[in-house]
């Protein structure tokens, strides 16, 4: 009798969980903002970035600099230069213009990013934490660096939390990682300071709570293989 009641309860939880998943997945899909790689995804400099600046045929001017907390660097001959918010090419053009005004004829400047801050991966991944950012890294690559999504992670609702450095506004981007893996969706670029969050499957959360309530396992593990019961 107890087994039958437990079985009915598990079936009820399964139906509720799947229904909740469907609703939340629809809401997340309707709010998805997956940026195109060609639009707004170029890396823009900010405080703490370490840049290597090379001036062709003027090696004495080439140097490595760090962007200060105000978004400026100090460059030979020119002095303070605001670089925050600029892309590599925009800064190259800016320095070329400033050097060409008084000091060099047709200067050619090349910028390399040596260190570019961090991004963060949290939630249901195997090895979450803080990771060094490099321009061009995508969501799939970022998740892979964190060891991949765990067996109880909700791969269809991975979120990217992004803060606009200009106005402090927060943007939440919801991405179906399964579709990325299948090549059915654009793999969005990660930006410096992004926080990637992989939630736990709702089914697994409810199942874990149920088994804990009847004294099987604890709040973190219930002694069953989650891959057999989760619709990821």
pLDDT digits (tens, 9 = 90+) for 134-146: 878 999 999 999 9
Q: What is the pLDDT of residue 5?
A: 53
CB count in 10 Å sphere of residue 158: 28
Give the CATH superfamily of 50-115.
wza like domain (3.30.1950.10)
As annotated, the residues of the chain forming the CATH 3.10.560.10 domain(s) are 2-40+117-228
Domain 2-40+117-228 annotated CATH 3.30.67.10: no
Q: Hunting for tokens 């605001």 — which residue is that? A: 82
Distance, in Å, from the CA atom of 129 to the CA atom of 120, rounded to the nearest integer, reads 6
For 190, which DSSP code? P
The listed range with the strongest mean pLDDT (38-42, 113-117, 121-125) is 121-125
pLDDT category of residue 221 using cuts at 50, 70 and 90: very low
Burial of 113 per CB tally in 10 Å (0-12, 13-18, 19+): middle
- 180 touches 127 (CB < 8 A): no
Residue 101 confidence (pLDDT) above 50: yes
Quote the CA–CA distance of 218 and 209 in Å, as a whole number. 9
For helices 2-30 and 202-213, the axis angle rounded to 10 degrees is 150
Q: In the chain, at which residue ranges do the beta strands (DSSP E only) sit?
A: 50-55, 63-66, 72-75, 79-82, 109-115, 118-123, 129-132, 158-163, 170-175, 195-198
* Distance in angstroms (rounded) separating the CA atoms of residues 51 and 111: 7
Confidence at residue 39, expressed as pLDDT on a 0 to 100 scale: 35
Find the mean pLDDT for residues 38-54: 77
**pLDDT for residue 22:** 42
Residues facing residue 73 across a β-bridge: 81
User: What's the token pair of residue 177?
Assistant: 């990682």
pLDDT tier for residue 99 given thresholds of 50, 70 and 90: very high
Domain with CATH 3.30.1950.10 in the chain: 50-115
């Amino acid at each position: 009798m107890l087994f039958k009641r437990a079985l009915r309860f598990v079936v009820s939880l399964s139906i509720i969980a799947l229904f909740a998943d469907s609703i939340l997945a629809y809401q997340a899909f309707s709010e998805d903002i997956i940026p195109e790689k060609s639009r707004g995804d170029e890396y823009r400099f900010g405080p703490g970035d370490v840049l290597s600046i090379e001036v062709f045929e003027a090696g004495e001017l080439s140097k490595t600099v760090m962007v200060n907390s105000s978004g400026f660097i100090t460059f030979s001959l020119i002095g303070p230069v605001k670089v925050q918010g600029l892309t590599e090419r925009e800064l190259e053009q800016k320095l070329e213009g400033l050097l060409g005004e008084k000091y060099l004829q047709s200067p050619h400047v090349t910028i390399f990013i040596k260190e570019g801050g961090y991004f963060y991966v949290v939630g249901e991944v195997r090895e979450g934490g803080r990771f060094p950012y490099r321009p061009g890294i995508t969501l799939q690559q970022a998740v892979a660096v964190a060891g991949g999504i765990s067996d109880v992670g909700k791969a269809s609702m991975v979120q990217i939390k992004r803060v606009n450095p200009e106005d402090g506004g927060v943007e939440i981007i919801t991405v179906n990682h399964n579709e990325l893996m299948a090549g059915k969706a654009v793999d969005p670029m990660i930006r410096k300071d992004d926080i990637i969050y992989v939630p736990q499957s709702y089914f697994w959360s409810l199942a874990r709570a149920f088994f804990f309530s009847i004294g099987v396992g604890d709040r973190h593990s219930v002694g069953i293989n989650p891959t057999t019961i989760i619709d990821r």
